[in-house]
Amino acid sequence: MTIKTIGVIGAGQMGNGIAHIFALAGLEVLLNDVDANALSEAKDKIHAAMERQIAREIITGQDAKAALSRISTTGALPDLGQTDLVIEAATEKEPIKHAIFAELVPHLKDDTILTSNTSSISITRLASGTDRPERFMGFHFMNPVPVMQLVELIRGIATNEETYQTLKGLVADIGKTSASAEDFPAFIVNRILMPMINEAVYALYEGVGTVESIDTSLKLGANHPMGPLELADFIGLDTCLSIMNVLHEGLADTKYRPCPLLVKYVEAGWLGRKSARGFYDYRGDTPVPTR
């Protein structure tokens, strides 16, 4: 199947990034969100991200202008029904995803491929609530989408080979690299990454180190570009907690138990960069550790 039009559900950081890369690759993109403000700001945010690429001489001004002309927005989910591929990038809450698919499915073309950008939720379970489990896959982009090269491809139990090969070819066409993962909780990247972040929070919780010493140790001692607590703030502490809960519930192993301190930060609304406070306080000119 040839993919020419893309529907993206969710105009947050992930959805905007996905729209950005597909528009640059020459595909028509229809971006949807329930939040009218998010939609009105979407193109400005994508334009700002492209301006950074222009400054780094990754793309030209003409490339950006052409790409932005390929992105349109809609608040009506059924409008995405005539696209060739739909990528759901809404919040990481399974009931919300099921509700989105239930509303969208009656409006889809017969051959439309339906995907989720979920970072941890069962693809088989999401697909089972639709009319096309054989044309449903996990299509997991990394954040920030324009920068990160990897896309995880996750087949549900019913996903057919044509769907898999179509998406694998599409990833190659947009200049990214795919990695195939089995449909187990959190797949590959987050199955490994999130327990590391959770263990860093435990080290903080138990007083093994401070925010600064833990992040410095991993950056200089393991050559990580970003410390685990800084990375957690970038991802969003609510997202980290959600993925840890999926791992803990799905695999029933105590090693995946979310750290109580991570739970406490989320309860406080200290979710990281997006709320201006997490393991660091971002309200000033320079981030300051909160512990």
Could you tell me if 196 and 186 are in contact, meaning their C-beta atoms sit under 8 angstroms apart? no
Q: What is the pLDDT of residue 28?
A: 98
Q: What is the CATH number of domain 190-289?
A: 1.10.1040.10
Residues carrying an active site annotation:
119, 140, 152, 190
Instruction: Determine the distance from the C-alpha atom of residue 90 to the mean position of all C-alpha atoms in its chain, rounded to a whole number.
Output: 9
Q: What is the pLDDT of residue 92?
A: 87
| Number of alpha carbons in the 13 Å side-chain half-sphere of residue 163 | 24
Residue limits of CATH 1.10.1040.10 in the chain: 190-289
133 to 100, 158, 168, 233: CA distances (angstroms): 15, 6, 17, 34
Under DSSP, the state recorded for 226 is: S
Q: What is the pLDDT of residue 1?
A: 79
Q: What is the pLDDT of residue 46?
A: 97
Residue limits of CATH 3.40.50.720 in the chain: 5-181
Alpha-carbon span 109 to 283, nearest angstrom: 47
Q: What is the pLDDT of residue 106?
A: 97
Residues of the chain with pLDDT under 50: none
Instruction: Say which CATH superfamily domain 5-181 falls into.
Output: NAD(P)-binding Rossmann-like Domain (3.40.50.720)
Alpha helices by DSSP H, listed for the chain, are 13-24, 36-55, 61-69, 94-104, 123-128, 161-173, 189-205, 211-221, 228-235, 237-251, 260-268
- Overall pTM surpassing 0.85 (yes/no): yes
Tokens, residue 72: 């349109």
- One-letter amino acid identity for 146? P
